[in-house]
Each structure stands twice: as C-alpha cells, then as structure tokens.
Amino acid sequence: MILLNFNCIFPSCNFKQNNVEEEDFLKHLNEEHCGDILEISKKENIPIKMAEMITMSNSTVFINSG
C-alpha cells in the first residue's frame, strides 16, 4: 500500500490530506469533480481516464525529505 499526499487542484475544493491511498483520492475526484473532469476531457479532447490521471498527478504533493 502506497500512501500519498494530495492537495486537490480545483480552486473550489479544500481537499488537502496526507497519507491517502491513490484509490481514495480517485474516489474523491469521481464523487466531487465528475463534471470538472468531463469538462477537461472535452476541452482538451482527451479520454476521461486520462483527464483523471492528469488531475491526480497534478494534485499529488511531493515532500522534500532531504
């Protein structure tokens, strides 16, 4: 199990959590931002799953431990 830190990129959202499983954040995206993801998909002419993955990637926070 890999736990990540997420800070949702959508301005209207205040989801910011540490030690979250990727699938739990994906559930958040599907429940809270389905319309936003669909809009990105249409605007960028990409599959919905790709829009989801890009959003997830852009919401992942990397902490510098060095």
Q: What is the pLDDT of residues 1-52, one digit of tens each?
A: 789 999 999 999 999 999 999 999 999 999 999 999 999 999 999 999 999 9
Q: What is the pLDDT of residue 62?
A: 80
Q: What is the reported pTM?
A: 0.86
Q: What is the pLDDT of residue 1?
A: 74
What sign has the CA pseudo-torsion 32, 60, 24, 41? positive
Residue range 49-57: average pLDDT? 96
First to last CA, the chain: 23
pLDDT of residue 65: 52
Taking only Cα atoms into account, the Rg of the chain, rounded to an integer number of angstroms, comes to 12
What are the Cα distances from residue 6, in Å, to 14, 32, 38, 45, 49? 11, 15, 20, 25, 18
